[in-house]
Amino acid sequence: MIFTLARLVTACEDYLLTQEVDTACQNITKTLAWYLRSAGFVKDTIPDEINGRHTAYERYKGLTVLAHHHPQPVASKPHDHGCTWAIYGVATAKTAMYEWELVEPAKDGQRGKVRLKRFFWIMPGMAFYFPRGVIHSHQTYDDSKLIRIEGMNIRSNRFKVGGEYFDPISTEVDSTWRSGRSALTTGCVPVAW
């Protein structure tokens, strides 16, 4: 099979049109992980010339595929994706993913406060699904490439979906929180507690 961005987008849109959102996103996660194992797909979709985030595909008010190439390590701030969901897939170099728990909502123009809930590694060829409303962040290392698929582009000027950033009050993992949703990690490696 030839792995192309066009085929990935078609598969994603088919899932979203024919399945309930959570099931569709789980299937998109599996499919993205499969595509990320293709060197040709990675080379064509995330070329070395990209520095930072690039919109590889965007349907007006709909599905968005973002290609990220970070030659140097980067860390995102804790954030959500407003009224939509996000799927992260790693093509090269491991990526640390963090999931945060809301402690205090935003008010009076101040960011909300969050506490670290868990963290884990996504290795090349793996993907992870964050449902709507889940606060998360990531840290890349070395020369990394990843794909992020969203239900809609939260940074588009075409519409507002309300994604927010949050300030951490604690980065200690709550050792009592060990179970929880699987979110279909397709092989994510939990970081040792």
Give the pLDDT confidence of 71-106 residue by residue, as tens digits. Answer: 999 999 898 888 889 999 999 999 999 999 999 988
Give the pLDDT confidence of 137-153 residue by residue, as tens digits. Answer: 999 988 999 999 999 87
Does pLDDT of 40 surpass 90? yes
What pLDDT was estimated at residue 62?
84
Q: What is the dihedral of CA 146, 114, 129, 180, to 10 degrees?
A: 140
